Chains A and B, each alone.
Chain A
C-alpha cells in the first residue's frame, strides 16, 4: 500500500506510530533541549551585556552581578515567546524538532496564538505538569488537559493531516 505523501520522508519502521500521542520520556527530552536553548539565549544576552559593558569600560571585564530575579524573569520573557511562536507556527520547538514531536490542538489542528501563548506560559511556570503524562491514558500533561492540546509523534517535514492524529484509542 502506498504511504501518504507526508510520510515519504519518515523511515519505514517509524511510520506506524506517526500521529500518536507522545510519551513522557520523549517529551521530557524535548523540553530539556528547549530549556537548554533558552539558557543559551539567556547566556548570550548576558554575554552581550558584559561585552557592551567591557567596550564602554575597557579597564576591567566582569560578568553581570547581582542578577537576582532578573534571570527567571528574563528567562520567562524569552521562553514563553519562543515556545508560543514555535507552537503556533510550525507546531514544534527546536527540542520537538529533534525528538520528532508536534504540538496540536483539538482535532489535530495547529494551535492558535492565544492558546499557544497560554500553553507556553503554563509550561514555563509549572513545568512539573509534564509529569502527568504517564498517568494519563491519552499521554496528556496538565497543560494539555487544561488547554485541550496534545503532543504527537510527527517525524515528517510537513504537518500530518488531522485525520491521522491519534488521541486515546480512536482515530480523529
Chain B
C-alpha cells in the first residue's frame, strides 16, 4: 500500500502521494481577498468599537443614574418637593389674580352701566317676593338687642336719679321692716329684698 505523502514548493505544484497537481489561480485570489477583507473588517471593528463604546456608555449612563438616584430619594421626600412646587405655583397664581383681577373688573365695570343693566334684565319684584323680609328684620332686631340699646340710651342723669331714689326707698323699707320685726319680737322676718345692701347695691 502506498502511504500518502504531501509535498509542495512555494510556487510548485502540490504533490499528494504519487499524484501531483496545480491549484487554480482563482483559489489563491479568493484566499487573498478573504484574508484581506478579514483584516480590514477587524481594523474597522476596532475603530468602530473605540468610537461607539463611549457613546454607548453615555447612552446607558442616564438610565443607570436615574436608577441610582431613584433608589436614594424616598417617596415622602419627593412628595414634599412636589407639594412645595405646587404651593409656589398656587401662590404665584393667587398673586397674579389678586393683582390683575380687580383692575380688569374695574375697567370692565367702567364701560358698563350696571344699574341700568340690573333694571333692564333683573325682575326685582320676584327677588323681593322670594325674600322673607319680616324674618330678616326680626333677626336683625334680635341681633341688635334693642331692649338693651333702649335702656342704655334712656339711662340719662334723670333716670339714674330715679334709680337712686328707688334703691334708697327699698333700703329704707328693709330697715323699717327689721325695726318693726324686732319691736314685735317676730322670729321670722318679713319678705326680704334679697341682694340689697346698706348702700342699696347687691
Most buried by A among B150, B166, B184: B166
**B190 at interface by CB-CB < 8 Å:** yes
| B147-A17 in contact (CB<8A) | no
- Contacts known (A21-B191, A139-B190); A16 close to B147, Cβ less than 8 A: no
Given contacts A9-B147, A168-B191, A16 and B196 within 8 Å (CB-CB) = yes
Supposing A13-B167, A13-B201 touch, asked if A26 and B172 sit within 8 A by C-beta, the answer is: yes
Binary CB contact string for chain A from 1 to 42 against chain B (1 if under 8 A, 0 otherwise):
000010011011111110011111110010000000000000
**Does B31 sit within 8 A of A, measured CB to CB?**
no
Shortest B186–chain A CB gap in Å is 8
Tally chain A residues at the interface, Cβ within 8 Å: 33
Instruction: Compute how far the CA of A22 lies from the CA of B162 in the bound complex, rounded to whole angstroms.
Output: 16
Most buried by B among A134, A136, A167, A168: A134
B141: Cβ under 8 A from any A Cβ: no
Instruction: Decide: A22 near B173, CB < 8 A? Known: A17-B194, A99-B165.
Output: yes
Q: In the docked arrangement, what's the CA distance between A22 and B163, Å?
A: 15
Choose from B169, B174, B180, B200 the contact partner of A13 (Cβ within 8 Å): B200
A98 interface residue (CB < 8 Å to B): yes
Chain B residue with Cβ nearest A24: B176
> Are B174 and A23 in contact, with the CB atoms below 8 A?
yes
Asked whether B15 is an interface residue with its Cβ less than 8 Å from the other chain, the reply is no
Smallest Cβ-Cβ distance to B190: which chain A residue:
A137
Q: In this assembly, does A155 line the interface, its C-beta being within 8 Å of a C-beta of chain B?
A: yes
Cross-chain contact of A99 among B150, B166, B188, B202 (Cβ < 8 A): B166
Decide yes or no whether A100 CB sits under 8 A from chain B: yes
Q: How far is the CB of A102 from chain B (nearest CB, A)?
A: 13
Given contacts A166-B191, A167-B191, contact A11 B163 (CB under 8 A): yes
Q: Which residues of A contact B191 (CB under 8 A)?
A: 20-21, 137-139, 166-169
A69 CB within 8 Å of chain B: no
Q: Specify which of B150, B165, B202 is in contact with A16 (CB 8 Å cutoff).
A: B202
- B193 within 8 Å of A (CB atoms): yes
Pick from B150, B163, B170, B201 the residue with the most CB of A within 10 Å.
Answer: B170
On whether the beta carbons of A99 and B151 are closer than 8 Å, the reply is: no
List A contacts of B172 (CB < 8 A): 23, 25-26
Q: Is B54 engaged at the interface, CB distance under 8 Å to the other chain?
A: no
Beyond A13-B196, A14-B163, A25-B172, 10 extra complex contacts between A and B, CB < 8 Å: A8-B148, A14-B166, A14-B170, A16-B194, A17-B194, A20-B192, A20-B193, A100-B162, A137-B190, A138-B190
6 tightest A-B contacts by CB? A23-B173, A16-B195, A17-B193, A25-B172, A26-B169, A13-B202
> Can you list 20 residue pairs at the A/B interface with Cβ under 8 Å?
A9-B150, A13-B201, A16-B195, A16-B196, A20-B191, A22-B173, A23-B169, A23-B170, A23-B172, A23-B176, A23-B193, A24-B176, A25-B172, A26-B173, A137-B186, A137-B188, A137-B191, A167-B191, A169-B188, A169-B191
